[in-house]
Structure 1
């Protein structure tokens, strides 16, 4: 049975997965270009737009598909089999759209206009939060990017790093320290706004195709209603189910490595053997271990997603389980890719195969939030209460 059939429960879900598969087959062919340029391929974006992928998590009244968390993970996992960098990138967009619509974080008038434009024009947005001095926003650092009020406008200055898809975004949701509010806030800024520029700085080992460059803001003037969020002191963090798009992406990469390793094992027959290496016991052992790890990780991930969808009133109690899913799944994904590399042997390091890319890309998951140490500390404190 196809490994993806395990968690498909309806015809609608099958159609969604088929959509993701169609896109995956196309973006897969541009991985080499993305690796060379360390940029998000524009043609990948066109493929996503052609399938109306960018509005999947919008409510139906705006022209979206209103995907549940479970369905969101299904499509993201399948897309990542084609290219993890593309899946992770668009996952941020879709997750943010889902959070904004479900959490009603913005004024209705602003979100209505924004959502309609996203659906009709298939526009792309991402949060731009990380900075050189503060590191990951999840660590609690105050942004050095500032917003100073000037009459009915704000003037924004700062520099953001790890701005995924920076060069192709239509909107930036920029976190700043808002001086007159004495609080951290977020501004919705359109591409092309004077003073906003992207500097190509992305040069990493893995996930090169996310194009996570720096965004520099120099005396950017925006109207006061561009301030769409203000984080008041003492506000308790909320559980964010949509962040499960991160482990879904990395387990998709692991599935791709698993599939390629099995295909290699079935075809490769050294002259020292009378059969392909798929008949060798220690190779079968590694294949079995890969599937056991995938089964464990995927059942955990999808069970928590299903719990999130079925019990809206319990969502704020799922923070610990959501964090645990990320840790378990991303670590399992790394282990699966490592096993795939061991099956293939030295050829896994060759640029003629994708194994070395899977190996580099999957490690990035260890550095996406929440970090392992924070999750383990949270679990320990809960156990000791």
Structure 2
């Protein structure tokens, strides 16, 4: 990334406009339409699309830096855009490995399509390895999907929903089917997103009532359960890295706000700025020590995905591990920043108060702490004996 300049893709003035709207969308529980419009006009939704298909052809490592930067301005906007970038990132991972099944995602993103991520289902802790959504094959090679997806970010605006379901009727069943459905009358979006934080993502529940994925949008049919298929690695790697990037960006913003506050507040007891208080200095140092570890780790792991490095069976422990470290670090850093800022951060209008609520969402994304620890334990100790 020696010649990579993040301000080319996310200029300071654009970020400040996005930052200025974040509190309004949090307060009013609305989707950041203006953010999406400006990011689309800037070509941001196509950052991972190769040049010959209409994008700048950035690497996953470069996209990680940009998502950290965007999250520092508006976490909910960054998290929503993340879900679109996951699919363009998966397309890149597959193409880099000689599989061009998601070319339509790349050309679509460059043309203004917005791709949503329809994988999460209530109570489905199998995530990529199973689905409660029925994928019914049709004679023309298309599939009809019936089921319910939760946490569907970009709900008001997506044009294509990337999803999975379980085919239980084909001769080779069961098969996990990965496909894309357009927004039609068979897709119902509930207006049920009223959460503690990350309100601007508008990650509403999506009902599928026989939604049709055309044959040319059915991209993978694989056996359920743990599977070495590249689409599983592609989704897991891009999702975990970009998710970790968003929460790392939140941590950086909280650290910056703590430093700014310490420079402004004055102790009535000593008459000195808080930046001269030993306890405050220790607390900010702790925040910086925790934060500083994550950007290099993200860069290294994302670069390994870009370079097609071979970590073998350790890949999933590395990926789930970086997500876990990023979200726990971000939560700790925001907690410390709130201590530095004091009571003002308890008000809903406070940016730190919003970050405090936004950062809580990290615990709900896969891999959760239990899954991450189980994956890492297996990588180091081997599987549990039966």
Q: Where on the TM-score scale, by shorter chain, does this alignment land: which range?
A: 0.7 to 0.9
| Pair 118,301 (structure 1): closer, same or farther in 2 beyond 3 Å | closer
Aligned residue in 2 for 1:238: 233
| Pair 320,47 (structure 1): closer, same or farther in 2 beyond 3 Å | same
Tell me, what secondary structure is at the counterpart of 1:157? strand
Work out the CA distance in 2 between the residues paired with 1:55 and 1:374: 32
| Pair 21,246 (structure 1): closer, same or farther in 2 beyond 3 Å | farther
Aligned residue in 2 for 1:151: 139
Matched, 1:185 2:184: no
- The 5 Å alignment of 1:48-59 reads 48-59=39-50
Q: CA RMSD in A?
A: 2.5
Q: 35-44 vs 61-70, which deviates more?
A: 35-44
Tell me, what secondary structure is at the counterpart of 1:274? coil
In structure 2, the gaps of 5 or more residues are: none
Please give the per-residue CA displacement for 1:337-378, whole angstroms capped at 9, x wherever unaligned: 111011111122123421111111112112212112222222
User: Which of residues 247, 250, 253 is equivalent to 2:250?
Assistant: 253
Tell me, what secondary structure is at the counterpart of 2:271? coil
Work out the CA distance in 1 between the residues paired with 2:88 and 2:138: 30
Tell me, what secondary structure is at the counterpart of 1:166? coil
Note if contact 1:106-1:229 (Cα within 8 Å) is conserved in structure 2: no
How many residues align? The count is: 371
TM-score scaled by structure 1? Answer: 0.88
Please give the per-residue CA displacement for 1:15-35, whole angstroms capped at 9, x wherever unaligned: 44x626444322211212321
Runs of at least 4 residues of structure 1 off by over 4 A?
104-108, 313-317
User: Which of residues 84, 87, 98 is equivalent to 1:93?
Assistant: 84
TM-score scaled by structure 2? Answer: 0.88
Cα deviation for residue 102 of structure 1 reads 2.3
| Pair 10,325 (structure 1): closer, same or farther in 2 beyond 3 Å | same
| Pair 293,312 (structure 1): closer, same or farther in 2 beyond 3 Å | same
- The 5 Å alignment of 1:281-300 reads 281-300=278-297
User: Which of residues 340, 343, 347 is equivalent to 1:350?
Assistant: 347
Tell me, what secondary structure is at the counterpart of 1:344? helix
In structure 1, the gaps of 5 or more residues are: 1-8
Aligned residue in 2 for 1:130: 120
Cα deviation for residue 310 of structure 1 reads 4.1
Matched, 1:175 2:164: yes
Please give the per-residue CA displacement for 1:91-150, whole angstroms capped at 9, x wherever unaligned: 221122121232149985x6444422321x222102212223425715x4x423223234
Aligned residue in 2 for 1:194: 185
Tell me, what secondary structure is at the counterpart of 2:10? helix
Cα deviation for residue 218 of structure 1 reads 2.0
Aligned residue in 1 for 2:155: 166
- The 5 Å alignment of 1:319-330 reads 319-330=316-327
| Pair 195,382 (structure 1): closer, same or farther in 2 beyond 3 Å | closer
